[in-house]
Structure 1
Amino acid sequence: MLYFFKLLLLSIKIDEETVLKWFGIADTSSPLDYMYDYNNLPQKSTDISLTTFKLIVEGLWNKVQDGLTLADIENILFFILFVRFIILAFRYNLKTSFFITCIGFCAGYLWYRHLIDLISMYRNVLLKLPYLNALGKDAVQLRSLHRQMYLTDLKMGDLTHWYNPGQVLYNGFTKGIVHIDPESGQRFYIDPISMIISNLPDPIKENVIPAYYKIYNGVIPKIYNTCTKFWNQLSGIAAYALITRIGKRYCPYLIRWHWTLLLIMGMVESFIIYFIYRAHYFQTYILLPQKKALAINAGGLMTSTADIDLQMQFLNACICTIVLAHLGFVIFALFHAIWGQYFYFPFFVENTELHVGPRPSTSIYSGGQTAWQLPEEKNTLIPKLWYGWFGRGTNNKWNLFDSLFGKSFKKIFKRKKKR
């Protein structure tokens, strides 16, 4: 039954029109080109050829000219997932292909969420960059959307949405234990402690009720808010520990590897992000006011602001370089995760694999290659920075120092050992 779907894929006619629609590219030919040439009227669909590839490249290039957006990144990611699913379906079967594709999707989703967080943090910088200003606009729209959703939730009050089950349970619990007297408007709590206090004798009740309301209206809400803030800070680590540590038997290696690397990278990324914030603050609130003050004091005369301009240009270059490198690395990791692959980055990968261990090479669900874990790739005099495309290894072919001087040094070390 599973092979029926393979035959079904072969029965689908894939022509130029289908491929162009998949990429969202319209036919660039105009009807006026064929007005006086009835012999060369355009057909509804043509076979795939080099012209199709040319149209795809031109269409994608025209899209990139307007700037890269989150929608473009999502389209590319889902296209990669679809192609990978088809390839794996022919290589294994539909069930195995579905599982492997889902594993890659989960690993890529971690990096994609992190990419959205970075874009929202760098939105002011991205708005100034030529090809990435669309990402900055998307970040501003997402921020305004989240703010609007927050205001909507405040207006709705207890009427929460069905897709927020935690808030639904909390509102149901708090609303169920509180009774408001319609005549006096006084709040009464319906819980075992409140019921016990309500049945106390009047002399004791007069002394207990002030402390009772102070606890219910002051202490308990503060404890709840503190626990909520603490949980918001700790929920990511708790989920990581629960899934990748306690449940590592059921969590694929690819997800554990990328998730651990992402957490380790997050420890260093905070310094980069705060550096960008401080540089942007210094540029906006220190240098620009100084430049405006010089122009005002000069009374319209030409003054030399070359020093301030040089500092601003230097800061712009630093900020743009760091932001592009940071986002480029995250996108690089995102596409590796979607493809089910690994990549090498010094120091961070070693620390990641100290936590998750080596890749199980016998499992088809573990993803791509990790040549840096092989002993024959590690035996070099100088640590390697390149292990081939998709971590397939180089067999030390690209280590120039080792290829030129490695043999001579090894001979010297062998002679010393013999002595």
Structure 2
Amino acid sequence: MLYLFRLLFLLINIDQETVLNWFGIEDPTNVKAYQAIANGYDLNSSNIEPSTNISIDTLGLLVEGLLNKLQDGLTIVDIENTLFFILFVRFIILALRYNLKTSLYITSIGLFAGYLWYRHLIDIISTYSNVLIKIPFLQNLGKDAIRLQSLSHQTVATNLKLGENTHWYNPGQVIYYAIMKAIINVDLETGQKYYIDPISMIISKIQGSGDSNIVSFYYKLYNKVIPRVYDFCSKFWAQLSGVAAYAVITRIGKKYCPYLIRWHWTFLLIIMMVENIFISFMGRANYFQTQILIPQKESYGNYINSSLQLQINFLNIIIIFIVLVHIGLLIFGLFHAIWGQYFYVPFFVENTELHIGPRPKNSIYSGGNTSWQDPEEKEKHLNRVFPKLWYGWFGSGTKNGWELTSKFKQFINKIIKKIKR
């Protein structure tokens, strides 16, 4: 295992150019080379400067490049690049602290928990796509969501037309298209379809005898009843699949499902009940603004109606505030899940832990800190009129503010000693 870990570092050349290219930022040495080529200078291997090693300057270039990219607006690609970079860094740190196998397990647990948040974030961004286009900093997110929606519609239409590109995680589609491929024969010259299943072959014999009742029943069954039943079952499964997967993995397979995944998955299901209220409100507010207030304002022409303008501005403030808080909370939870950490939100966390219980503190696979589960905090919580809102970074507590920094320094010193050895 140790030799495999060393081989991993030999195969991946981690320098300044590698780190900057991960985030789509140009290395200054490459920029100088491009400028020299543009000016007509002759470059050979002796004139090209190799990329420098990772240093404090690399961190400065990384922060500067990310800030320049964020000025154009946040995109889904930026979020994905940041997440995978965090996963890679966390994998390296855990491999140095434990071993390669343990690091892979812990990183995979965080990846699965983060994927749950990421999929939900994409769904919410797609829901808010028409609103995000109006917000300057989030316009690119709205455009990405619209592209994803159009791409998914094209994929579904292609799959329905050709019956191809089906995947193993859609067993219903695999079975449906397998049956359709088996019972339908297409004439390549005329393009006409022929049903070659046993029932259709029998009906073709009956059709020649003139018995119209059986033939009409057959066509109703194949053209109306079966497609409607399939459509109903597919929609029902689309609504039920998430809850069914949650029940099978976190309830039936509780023994084999890590606590981090169960905690974040349950937390997501609970907040989804409240999210529907804000999503409905956002839809109504956006419709009222775009379909009623703005047309009325345009009907006045050059005359500015202060009351209408005030209503439009007020709705803009409410819409932007709700969208930023909602998406910000999801990104906040997403990064906590990727890091294998927990966070506290009153009412939601209590209900989450009523379902799955407290965190097992004797396992390295259970994730980070949950200081609100400590016995002292539970006693204080019962005596409080209002709940405590902040339990420190990554749920580490608020008693010793510099405890996390000191532990981080100790951990860095241990890594430096191991590298020296």
For normalisation by structure 2, the TM-score amounts to 0.80
1:351 CA drift (Å): 0.9
1:284 alignment counterpart: 290
Residue-by-residue CA offset, 1:201-252 (whole Å, 9 max, x unaligned): x89x776554455444433332222222211111111111111111111111
- The alignment status of 1:190 with 2:190, answered yes or no, reads no
Distance 1:196 1:255 in 2: 53
> Which protein shows a greater Rg?
1
1:230 alignment counterpart: 236
What pairs with 1:16-31 in structure 2 (closer than 5 Å)? 16-28=16-28, 31=32
Mark the CA change 1:180 to 1:134 in structure 2 (over 3 Å): closer, same or farther: closer
The one-letter code of the counterpart of 2:350 is: E
**2:109 and 2:260 in contact (8 A); partners too:** yes
Mark the CA change 1:62 to 1:218 in structure 2 (over 3 Å): closer, same or farther: closer
2:110 alignment counterpart: 104
Distance 2:185 2:350 in 1: 58
Q: Where do 5+ consecutive residues of structure 1 fail to align?
A: 36-40, 398-419
1:386 CA drift (Å): 1.4
- The alignment status of 1:343 with 2:343, answered yes or no, reads yes
Distance 2:51 2:185 in 1: 69
**1:161 and 1:168 in contact (8 A); partners too:** no
- The alignment status of 1:364 with 2:368, answered yes or no, reads no
2:61 alignment counterpart: 55
1:129 CA drift (Å): 1.6
Distance 1:194 1:225 in 2: 26
The match for 1:172 among 178, 199, 212 is 178
2:389 alignment counterpart: 385
1:293 alignment counterpart: 299
2:127 alignment counterpart: 121
Q: Which stretch shows the higher mean deviation, 228-237 or 79-88?
A: 228-237
- Aligned to 1:54, the other structure's residue is in SS state helix
Distance 1:243 1:236 in 2: 11
The one-letter code of the counterpart of 1:327 is: I
**1:126 and 1:132 in contact (8 A); partners too:** yes
**1:371 and 1:393 in contact (8 A); partners too:** yes
The one-letter code of the counterpart of 2:379 is: N
Distance 2:173 2:105 in 1: 32
Mark the CA change 1:194 to 1:137 in structure 2 (over 3 Å): closer, same or farther: same
Mark the CA change 1:222 to 1:6 in structure 2 (over 3 Å): closer, same or farther: closer
1:92 CA drift (Å): 1.1
What pairs with 1:216-365 in structure 2 (closer than 5 Å)? 216-295=222-301, 303-365=303-365
Distance 2:197 2:60 in 1: 72
Distance 2:51 2:368 in 1: 38
**2:297 and 2:304 in contact (8 A); partners too:** no
RMSD between aligned alpha carbons?
3.4
The match for 2:83 among 71, 77, 85 is 77
Q: Which stretch shows the higher mean deviation, 265-274 or 385-394?
A: 385-394
Distance 2:242 2:162 in 1: 27
Q: Where do 5+ consecutive residues of structure 2 fail to align?
A: 40-46, 402-421
Distance 2:82 2:298 in 1: 45
Distance 2:144 2:75 in 1: 7
Distance 1:197 1:20 in 2: 67
**1:377 and 1:396 in contact (8 A); partners too:** no
1:31 CA drift (Å): 4.6
The one-letter code of the counterpart of 1:387 is: Y
Distance 1:31 1:113 in 2: 40
Q: Which stretch shows the higher mean deviation, 49-58 or 237-246?
A: 49-58
1:20 CA drift (Å): 3.2
The one-letter code of the counterpart of 1:342 is: Y
Mark the CA change 1:175 to 1:144 in structure 2 (over 3 Å): closer, same or farther: closer
Distance 2:16 2:76 in 1: 26
Mark the CA change 1:198 to 1:276 in structure 2 (over 3 Å): closer, same or farther: same
**2:184 and 2:193 in contact (8 A); partners too:** no
Distance 2:13 2:218 in 1: 74
Distance 1:168 1:246 in 2: 26
- Using the aligned pairs only, state the percent identity: 58
- Give the count of matched residue pairs: 380
Residue-by-residue CA offset, 1:258-317 (whole Å, 9 max, x unaligned): 11111111111011111111111110111112112222xxxx6xx341111011000000
